[in-house]
Structure 1
Amino acid sequence: MTEPARTRRMTGVGIVLVFVYGVMALAATGRSFVQFVRAFDEAPVAYTLSAASAVVYILATLALMFSKSDAWYRVAWVSVIFELAGVIIVGSLSIALPALFQHPTVWSLYGSGYVWIPLVLPFFGIWWLATHRPARSRQAAEVAR
């Protein structure tokens, strides 16, 4: 008896999604590193938020790459939802209370410094995760019906 052929989980849009998350991880990490080194004392809240966004993008990139397992799939959901909340909260605060964000962060003004990719990206992440559950999760959902 032959084994069924393994299918790649990451194809097409999934590869592009991971690539964009990886680019955002590099950009946010580079930005926060420069901000910390040059002038952390000028805007510690803003620069710490840039570092936090870098960590979220790194975690989301890894989680999406390895989301074939249930554990990484859950981590991907948490990181993408956290990212969306961060963009909305920081973006709204940067408009409502601009004194808090005199220095820009990755998520300031809903990511306008990054062509609003930080605002749009989590929606693609949520869509991809919702439509590409790991095999075990899919089987469990079918059994529960």
Structure 2
Amino acid sequence: MSTELQTPPRRNQGLGRIIVMVYAVFALSALARSLFQILSHFDRAPVAYVLSAFAAVVYIIATLSLARTGRTAWLVSLAAVLIELVGVVGVGLATVLHPELFADATVWSHFGAGYGYVPLVLPIVGLAWLLTHREPKES
């Protein structure tokens, strides 16, 4: 009989690594899209393009913090994923209720419909992962 304690899998291994990769893809795609839109035709839909840039920043922060271990990284990840969830729901509602405000789509428009609703599902999966892989409080 072994008396060794089994250490739980790290947050950024297994499914966690796949979550990090999906966040990285969304970070790159949102950043590329927003940069192109801002640089080529910002005056057409400035609100939408700034929101896409904001989404890119959130995805970048989430990607980097989810890839790291430790309590601080866990807290930053939690904050980023919560901001993402509020953003996708808020922007999603705004694009449905006030489409005239959005001359062009954002990553979070219509709850991420342009991206197969992954932007809506991803923060829910991210939150579930984070809450089941909590980092112990630092002493």
TM-score by length of 1: 0.87
Residue 42 of structure 1 and its aligned partner are, at CA, apart by 1.1
Matches within 5 A, 1:99-118: 99-118=100-119
Instruction: Please tell me whether residue 14 in structure 1 is matched to residue 16 in structure 2.
Output: yes
Unaligned runs of 5+ in 1: 141-145
- The 2-side partners of 1:28 and 1:90 are apart by 15
Residues 81-102 of structure 1: CA distance to partner in whole angstroms, max 9, x if unpaired? 0000000000000000000112
Which residue is equivalent to 1:143?
Answer: none
Q: Which moved more, 1:8-17 or 1:96-105?
A: 8-17
Higher-RCO chain (CA-CA 8 Å, sequence separation at least 6): 2
Give the counterpart of 2:38 among 13, 36, 39. Answer: 36
Residue 6 of structure 1 and its aligned partner are, at CA, apart by 8.0
Residues 104-135 of structure 1: CA distance to partner in whole angstroms, max 9, x if unpaired? 0000000011110000000010001001112x
Which residue is equivalent to 1:71?
Answer: 72
Q: Percent identity?
A: 46
- The 1-side partners of 2:48 and 2:22 are apart by 23
Q: Retained in 1: the 8 A contact 2:44–2:103?
A: no
Unaligned runs of 5+ in 2: none
- The 1-side partners of 2:7 and 2:127 are apart by 25
RMSD of aligned alpha carbons: 1.9
- Structure 1 stretches of at least 4 aligned residues deviating more than 6 Å after TM superposition: 4-7
Letter in 2 for 1:71: T
Which residue is equivalent to 2:48?
Answer: 46
Residues 53-110 of structure 1: CA distance to partner in whole angstroms, max 9, x if unpaired? 00000000011011x2111111000000000000000000000000011200000000
Equivalenced residues, count: 134
Richer in helix (by share): 1
Letter in 2 for 1:129: L
- The 1-side partners of 2:23 and 2:131 are apart by 17
- The 1-side partners of 2:7 and 2:92 are apart by 42
Letter in 2 for 1:55: V
Which residue is equivalent to 1:95?
Answer: 96
Letter in 1 for 2:132: T
TM-score by length of 2: 0.90
